């Protein structure tokens, strides 16, 4: 069965960096794009970034563009989110999600989500 396990969250000071990982299993990872979506405590869902199945296309929310970088290693079935210049407003649970479309140039949406990892940006 599909499994996504996020890791790398924690407490970090404003302006510092953090890298999240999402280990995938139970499906052909190299055939699907992957998303990151975040949720601040008590708030709604905010899409963050997506990477295509082969890593050739990447898209970001305006709120993180220039600060966050999404990448993947298909040999390790893992997607990453490098977060630089972190701000208090980046505090949230970060979910990775498998894209619904196979071998797609244009991403679809997340059809299966991991359990999330909490990032807290605080001095």
Partner 1 sequence: DIQMTQSPSSLSASVGDRVTITCQASQDIRKYLNWYQQKPRKAPKLLIYDASILETGVPSRFSGSGSGTDFTFTISSLQPEDIATYYCQQYDNLPPTFGQGTRLEIK
Residue 108 touching partner 1 (CB under 8 A):
yes
Separation in Å, CA 111 to CA 4, 6, 55, 63, 86: 12, 16, 19, 23, 28
Assess contact for 29 and 99: CB atoms under 8 A: no
10: tokens are 């924690």
Residue 33 touching partner 1 (CB under 8 A):
no
Chain positions 42 to 81 lying near partner 1, rule: CB under 8 A, are 44-47, 50, 59, 61-62
- Residue closer to partner 1 by CB (options 13, 93) is 93
Burial class (CB in 10 A: 0-12, 13-18, 19+), 104: middle
Number of residues forming the site for partner 1 (CB under 8 A): 21
- Residue closer to partner 1 by CB (options 1, 123) is 1
How many whole angstroms separate alpha carbon 29 and alpha carbon 110? 14
Shortest distance, position 13 Cβ to partner 1, whole Å? 26
Contact positions vs partner 1 (CB under 8 A):
35, 44-47, 50, 59, 61-62, 95, 100, 107-116
């Amino acid at each position: 069965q599909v499994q996504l396990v996020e890791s790398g969250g924690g407490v970090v000071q404003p302006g510092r960096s953090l890298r999240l990982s999402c280990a995938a299993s139970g499906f052909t990872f190299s055939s699907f794009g992957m998303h990151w979506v975040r949720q601040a405590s008590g708030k709604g869902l905010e899409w963050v970034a997506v990477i295509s199945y082969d890593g050739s296309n990447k898209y970001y929310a305006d709120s993180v563009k220039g600060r966050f970088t999404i990448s993947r290693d298909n040999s390790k079935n893992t997607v990453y989110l490098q977060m630089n210049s972190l701000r208090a407003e980046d505090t949230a649970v970060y979910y990775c999600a498998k894209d619904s479309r196979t071998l797609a140039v244009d991403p679809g949406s997340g059809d299966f989500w991991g359990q999330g990892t909490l990032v807290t940006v605080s001095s």
